[in-house]
Amino acid sequence: MGAESPKEECGLFGVWAPGEDVARLTYFGLFAQQHRGQESAGIAVSDGRNILVYKDLGLVSQVFNEATLATLRGDLAIGHTRYSTTGSTTWENAQPVFKTDGRRSVALGHNGNLVNVAELASRLGGPSSATTDSDLVTGLIAAELGEAPLDEVALRVLPELRGAFSLVFMDERSLFAARDPNGVRPLSIGRLPTGFVVASETCALDIVGATPIREVEPGELVRIDDRGLSSTRFADATPTPCVFEVVYLSRPDSRLQGRSVHESRREMGRILAREHPVEADLVIGVPTTGHAAAQGYAEVSGIPYGEGLHKNGYVGRTFIQPSQSLRDRGVKLKLNPLPDSIRNKRLVVVDDSIVRGTTTKQIVAALREAGAAEVHIRITCPPVRWPCFYGIDMPTRQELIAADLDVEQIRDYVGADSLGYLSLEGMVEAAGGGTFCRACFDGRYPIPVPAGVGKFVLEQRPGARTG
C-alpha cells in the first residue's frame, strides 16, 4: 500500500531468559516487527536490581548498534517499536515508558488505543503530564506501586482501562503481559530453552528461536519470572480481535488464532475471484500484502499470476520531502510498474484496501502509462467507511473515500475499468470465521467510543505537556 494506507500501530516484545543476551533477543524481535511502527524504538533491561532504558526516534537498526546493545545487560527485557495513535512523534513519547520512585521501577510498552483517557487522567489527581495513553497507564501503576507486588497493582488498574490494549511491562525481577477483554490487538507467548518470550506477532518468536505456546487470552494477565509462568484473569473475555490484522497489518509468516496469515490472504483472493470474476490476461498483486491474495485469485480464475509492480524495499520513513513534481508522482517512490510484463495486457490488480483513494488512483494511472490495456482493481476487504479508535492510525471519516462515495463512484475516481470489493462475509470466512472487530467496515464498535476521542486528546487538556 502507499502513503494513504492505515499505519500499523505498534510492535511489542518481552523476554525473561537468565543467562541469555536478552537485549539482543529483543532487538531481533523488534526488527521482525518493524512493519508495525517506524517512528521510534526502545528497549528496557533489568539486571535484577536496576532497569536501564534506551530509546530514540527512528528505525530499530538506526536506534541500536553493537555498542548500545552491549550496555543493556540483564535477565529480562521488554521492547517496543512505535507508530503513534495517541500523542505526537517526539522522543518523550517513545516507549518503553519508565517510572520510578527511587526504590521501585516499572517499564511498559503498549499496543492499541484507550478510549477513556480523560477519565483515567483525572484519577491521577491534579494536572497530568502524560501525553500518551501508555504514559498514563504507567503512571497509574506507578502511583499505586508502593510495597505491593506489581501483579497486584496491575489487577487493580487493568479493569479500569477501556479500549484496545496489549501490554508488556516489567519491574526489576518479573515480566508481565496483558491483553484487553476483547483481545483487539494480538499478543503471543513462546518458550525458549532458558525462559519465555512474548510478542505481538509469532514471526518475532520464530526469529529468536522460541517455540510458540499460545496467545495471551483476552482479559488475562501473565507473569513470568523465576517462579515460572502464571496466569490471572482480570476480566471476562468477549473476544473481538481486529480483522484488519489479517487483511493488512500482520506479517504473512505470522499466525493469528492458530491460522497462517498468508493462507488467510490467499483464501481472500480465492473468494474474490468467485465474487468478482473478470476477463483478463494477468493477475498482479500490489506489494507486498496483495501478493498472497493475487495468487489465490489466479488459482480460482485460471488467469496467470505474475509480477507487474516493483516495490522499493528501502523507502521506509523519510524526512527528506520530495519536490512537488515528485510528490505528484509519489507512488513511484515506492512502487514502479514493470512495462515488459504488463504492456497491452488486461490486468487484475489485487490490493488489501482503499482508504483515501489517492494511491490507488496513482497506481492505475502508472499502469496505464506503462501500457496496460485494462486495469481491474480487486480489494481483499469491504469498503473502509469508519475510522479506527483501537490502535490503527486511520483517517477521519471525512477523509475515507467510501464514507461518501459508492463503489461505482470510487471506480470512476481511481480510473479503473472495474472495481470489486470482497464481501464482509467473504473476508470473515477467509480469516477463519468467528467474531471479529470489523468496525471500520460496518461502524459497529465493540467497545463504546466516547465523543471527542482522538489521537491528540491528551495533548489538548489544559496543563498537558506537548513535548
Beta strands in 261-368 (DSSP E): 282-285, 309-311, 335-337, 346-351
- For residue 30, count other CB atoms closer than 10 A to its CB: 29
| Mean pLDDT, rounded, for 390-414 | 92
Look at residue 429 and tell me whether its pLDDT is greater than 90: yes
**208-238 tens-digit pLDDT:** 999 999 999 999 999 999 999 999 999 999 9
What count of residues does the chain have? 467
- Catalytic amino acids? 10
Residue 106, beta-bridge partner list: 99
- For residue 47, count other CB atoms closer than 10 A to its CB: 14
Mean of pLDDT over the chain: 89
* DSSP letters for 415-436: T-SEEEEPPHHHHHHHTTSS--
- Specify whether the CB–CB gap between 244 and 237 falls below 8 A: no
| Residue 370 exposed, middle or buried by CB count within 10 Å (0-12, 13-18, 19+) | middle
Report the distance separating Cα 140 and Cα 334, nearest Å: 42
Q: What does DSSP assign to residue 209?
A: T
Q: What does DSSP assign to residue 72?
A: -
| Mean pLDDT, rounded, for 314-325 | 52
Higher-scoring residue by pLDDT: 288, 87: 288
| Mean pLDDT, rounded, for 393-406 | 89
- Specify whether the CB–CB gap between 73 and 111 falls below 8 A: no
* Pairing verdict, β 335-337 and 40-46: unpaired
Listed ranges 131-140, 235-244, 395-404; the one with the highest mean pLDDT = 235-244
Domains of the chain, start order: 11-240 (3.60.20.10), 263-312+321-433 (3.40.50.2020)
Look at residue 357 and tell me whether its pLDDT is greater than 80: yes
- Specify whether the CB–CB gap between 334 and 311 falls below 8 A: yes
Extract the C-alpha cell encoding 251: 506479517
- For residue 149, count other CB atoms closer than 10 A to its CB: 12
pLDDT at 330: 61
Extract the C-alpha cell encoding 428: 470473515
Please state which of the ranges 390-394, 395-399, 407-411, 456-460 shows the lowest mean pLDDT.
Answer: 456-460
pLDDT band at 464 (very low <50, low <70, confident <90, very high): very low
pLDDT at 197: 98
pLDDT band at 91 (very low <50, low <70, confident <90, very high): low
**13-52 tens-digit pLDDT:** 999 999 999 999 999 999 999 999 888 999 999 999 999 9
| Mean pLDDT, rounded, for 386-414 | 92
| Mean pLDDT, rounded, for 156-160 | 97
